[in-house]
Amino acid sequence: MVDAAQSMIQPVKARTTRSGLRKFFERKSTIAFFMALPLMLLIAIMVIYPAFYSLHLATLNKSMQRFVGFGNFTFLFKRETFWMVVQQSCFFAITAVIFKALIGFVVAHLVHNLPDKGQRKWRGMLLVPWVIPPAMSTLAWLWLFDPSYSAFNWILAQVGIGPIPWTGDASWARFSVILVNIWAGAPFFLIMYLAALKSVPEQLYEAAAIDGANWWQRIWYITLPMMRNIIAITTLFSLIVTFANFDIVRILTAGGPLDKTHLFATWAFRIGIEGNDIPLGASISLFMVPILAIAAIFILRDINKRGNEA
């Protein structure tokens, strides 16, 4: 009797398990998980593993045979060049992001106020610097700034202005790399700000106009508050990307003259690959993480706060 009862229970159990499995696979979250899995694996292989590996490398001595803990970091803190690179990276990133945001904001307004008919063409054209691979466009800039045959200097010479050492003098070299970064990055701000502008309800401006608000008041009390989150997110994103910039500086100045244009990434490459001191190179590149993490915490906290207020 018991055997017979058991033999009846088993298929029921199997059916229940099968349907449970089916339900599990039919759940939206499961499907979402499996669809995101390739990307998660890609990130794990291409980002998380190298990040932990570089953490491991940063704790080794120069010949990578001995664990030195924070030895590489304490060594860096004593180097004059390291602090110069810290200052330069901050100056480069902050200046470039401010100008990119300003230019993006102004040009977004200009494009927004263009008649719909021609707006698409302008949007397309203004995005060109952002869509060209930076290594390629920087090569073109390199020819424009060439130490001996600069096209800019040729133009300046036509109006009697002497040659400018675009990449030979520390101040001009810094100006040049920042200029190219702004040129390449401003369209990103433009497109983000343009999208934000288009989502501001027109009624708000109409109400402000009835109240007699001028142009500046409309910007200050309507446009900017409505764009705050987009501005914060684009600033954070751009700060991270600009801080970690490699290609523009590497191609234009390779960090020179006298290391005056090095950023963390270019200096890490110089020390780690060209100088074959991989642990120190890894330590330099990791130094970006706490700086960017602090910036991210502040900016994202601000966004969350505003989100909760809303």
Partner 1 sequence: MPRILSRRQFVAATAAGSAALMTAPFVRGAYAAGKVSIAFWDHWVPGANDVMTKLVKAWADKEKVEAQIDYIPSQGNKNLLSITAESQAKAGHDIFAMPTWWPQAYADQIEPVNDIMEPLIKQNGKVNETVEYLGRAGDKWLGVPATAGSQVKGPCSRIDLMKQFANIDVQAMYPPGAKAQADNWTLDTFLKAAEACHKGGKPFGIGLGETSDSVDAAGAFLRAFGGELVNAKGDIAVKSDAVRQWLEFYKKLISFMPADVTAWDDSSNNKWLVSGNGALIMNPPSSWAVAKRDAPKIAEQCWTHGMPAGPKGRFSPFLPFFWSIWGFSKNKAAAKSLLVYLSQPEQAEAMVTASGGYDLPSFASMTKFKIWAEEAPPKGTLYHYPNPDHLDTWSIAASPAPPKIAQQIYAQATMTKMCVRYAQGEAMEKTLSWAEGELEGFMRT
Which C-beta is closer to partner 1: that of 176 or that of 242?
Answer: 176
Per the listing, tokens 């200096």 go with 267
Q: For 23, what's the count of Cα atoms within 13 Å in the CB-facing half-sphere?
A: 6
Beta carbon of residue 50, minimum distance to partner 1 (angstroms, whole number)? 11
Q: For 93, what's the count of Cα atoms within 13 Å in the CB-facing half-sphere?
A: 26
Which C-beta is closer to partner 1: that of 145 or that of 193?
Answer: 145
Q: Tell me 261's DSSP state.
A: T
Which C-beta is closer to partner 1: that of 104 or that of 255?
Answer: 255
CA 171 – CA 162 distance, rounded (Å): 16
Using left for φ > 0, alpha for ψ between -120 and 50, and beta otherwise, residue 276 falls in left
Beta carbon of residue 278, minimum distance to partner 1 (angstroms, whole number)? 7
Beta carbon of residue 284, minimum distance to partner 1 (angstroms, whole number)? 13
CA 95 – CA 266 distance, rounded (Å): 18
Beta carbon of residue 140, minimum distance to partner 1 (angstroms, whole number)? 15
Which C-beta is closer to partner 1: that of 185 or that of 247?
Answer: 247
**N- to C-terminal Cα separation, the chain:** 67
Beta carbon of residue 46, minimum distance to partner 1 (angstroms, whole number)? 15
Beta carbon of residue 143, minimum distance to partner 1 (angstroms, whole number)? 11
Beta carbon of residue 39, minimum distance to partner 1 (angstroms, whole number)? 25
User: Residue 285 in contact with residue 54, Cβ under 8 Å?
Assistant: yes
User: Phi/psi of residue 68, each to 5°?
Assistant: -120, 10
Which C-beta is closer to partner 1: that of 63 or that of 304?
Answer: 63
Which C-beta is closer to partner 1: that of 63 or that of 87?
Answer: 63
Which C-beta is closer to partner 1: that of 227 or that of 271?
Answer: 271
Cis peptide before 129 (omega within 30 of 0): no
Cα 165 to the center of its chain, rounded Å: 29
List contacts with partner 1 (CB under 8 A).
61-63, 75, 79-81, 147-149, 163, 165-169, 173, 253-259, 270-271, 273-278, 280
Per the listing, tokens 């810290």 go with 86
